[in-house]
Structure 1
């Protein structure tokens, strides 16, 4: 990651770069605003990459404190390199800051205050206009998620985020024996008297807090719409998920409700899902 851009800007939050930024603010406020916005976007991008990594199971062979630190540093450099591209989040932040400082008269719609995970989701949000694999996943699943949202009362972004978490943003699809997609993006097992098609795959389950590989049977569907409808029926009609419906107006309540109900065996399921929900909401708000 020794690209010219990365070498020029250094790591976001570096003490020396912050001192330079402070000095520049008194000499060239507009340039300082752009640099501050770029660094803020770098922090956001690092959190996005971190959230994506959280959906991927570690190998367990070479993972240790040193490798984790190396991964964090690499993600930081990735984020710094990606930040500041034309038309990105940094441009929006810079315009807002310039307006607040009286450096620009261009109106910018302010964003809602407060932390993402503690607020109810605004209604009637449009399909995300985000580029890249995450944006493609959200757009592809948007209509089906809206159906599940209407049937359960849970915000579509929460449902989309759970599908993204369970499927690794579509990279870890459960496939049938012939290689075709089962469309089971929620990882719903073929239990409870399921009479439909089944896909058998090797998956990771946690037994007494320890990950184990085992073959499991999962439900298979003919379409994403069918998968989302079945997910909605499961959450709405199974009494064990009653608290998920009750607490589903916040990201933390939704995620913790699923974990408490035993939706997954991963002891960190709620924390991981909450991070993906926040990522999904930020992707939407960054382009709204």
Structure 2
């Protein structure tokens, strides 16, 4: 049955009859019905604001009685309706969001969707916070990502490009490598430094074994033996750039038989971190937990 959209838009649904009309119109999912529902919601929202304001105002004067309260309520209803007709912006926002939710996704020349990917998830109900019979409405759910702290963003801005390049070459997710670099260097504040004060660019704490042919720096490190920490002086690899550090790390993880099973079982950050610890990458018994936590709570993508 067709619904008179003009009628719905021009009057507030304060009684059960008008609420029923609004609910029936909303089921049609037409732009007119969506617009009418949005305007009704804005009007009801304004009325609740005015009612709250009235309740906060003393009403025990000589001229206040039940009749004046009735007329005041009627006035507030009419003022709310007039304000909603002119609009405060809420109805427009709801209309745009609901239109995206109910519209058929636009497609490009190859059939791909051209909608903003953050707006394509199924709609979730907007719960009614007022006990006033407002019909249920929906707004599109948005993707949520962890908010990056300034030091995390600075770290990713500094090394993100090198991590992405290494990821393309090795298949190791960039955020996995960034997380490990953050853990090993204390977010860049504890990089391995040579005696002359220059940086080694060693982001992953990779030691210089007998077969390493490049530059070497010595630094104090903590190793765990049977769960007990011991301070030692060890030799570490030195690189000419951070990009070289990522390349060497990626080559070690993908080519060294010791880490063969790491990527095979790295379905997520936890699996990757646990695989590294099982392979003996670090002696810290809490290494996997620390690494997984950094990856999951700090980096997006």
TM-score > 0.5 by shorter chain: yes
Shift of 1:108: 5.6
Q: 1:197 to 1:102 in 2, by over 3 A?
A: farther
Residues 130-164 of structure 1, C-alpha deviations (whole Å, 9 max, x = no match): 45111100111111111221222121111110111
In the other structure, the counterpart of 2:268 is 250
Q: Which of 186, 189, 214 is the aligned partner of 2:204?
A: 186
Computed over aligned residues only, the root mean square deviation of the Cα atoms, in angstroms, reads: 3.0
Residues 151-180 of structure 1, C-alpha deviations (whole Å, 9 max, x = no match): 221211111101111111111110111111
Shift of 1:101: 2.8
In the other structure, the counterpart of 1:110 is 143
Shift of 1:208: 1.7
Is 2:198 the partner of 1:165?
Answer: no
Contact 1:183–1:227 (CA under 8 A) maintained in structure 2: yes
Shift of 1:105: 8.2
Q: Which of 252, 274, 277 is the aligned partner of 1:234?
A: 252
Contact 1:184–1:227 (CA under 8 A) maintained in structure 2: yes
Structure 2 Cα separation of the partners of residues 136 and 172 of structure 1: 15
Equivalent runs, 1:195-210 vs 2, <5 Å: 195-210=213-228
Q: 1:246 to 1:192 in 2, by over 3 A?
A: farther
Unaligned stretches of 5+ residues in structure 2:
1-47, 50-123, 130-136
Residues 220-275 of structure 1, C-alpha deviations (whole Å, 9 max, x = no match): 11111000000011111101101112122311110011001100011111111111
Structure 1 Cα separation of the partners of residues 140 and 197 of structure 2: 51
In the other structure, the counterpart of 2:229 is 211
| TM-score, normalised by the number of residues in structure 1 | 0.55
Residues 68-90 of structure 1, C-alpha deviations (whole Å, 9 max, x = no match): xxxxxxxxxxxxxxxxxxxxxxx
Number of equivalences: 176
In the other structure, the counterpart of 2:81 is none
Structure 2 Cα separation of the partners of residues 259 and 202 of structure 1: 21
Q: 1:102 to 1:220 in 2, by over 3 A?
A: farther
Equivalent runs, 1:16-95 vs 2, <5 Å: none
Secondary structure of 1:185's match?
A: coil
Q: Which of 126, 134, 157 is the aligned partner of 2:152?
A: 134
Q: Which of 274, 277, 287 is the aligned partner of 1:259?
A: 277
In the other structure, the counterpart of 1:278 is 296
Secondary structure of 2:159's match?
A: helix
Q: Which has the larger radius of gyration?
A: 2
Secondary structure of 2:234's match?
A: strand
Structure 2 Cα separation of the partners of residues 230 and 153 of structure 1: 14
Secondary structure of 1:264's match?
A: coil
Q: 1:131 to 1:208 in 2, by over 3 A?
A: closer
Unaligned stretches of 5+ residues in structure 1:
1-26, 29-97, 113-127
Residues 14-61 of structure 1, C-alpha deviations (whole Å, 9 max, x = no match): xxxxxxxxxxxxx99xxxxxxxxxxxxxxxxxxxxxxxxxxxxxxxxx
In the other structure, the counterpart of 2:172 is 154
In the other structure, the counterpart of 2:239 is 221
In the other structure, the counterpart of 1:100 is 126
Q: 1:111 to 1:134 in 2, by over 3 A?
A: closer
Shift of 1:280: 2.0
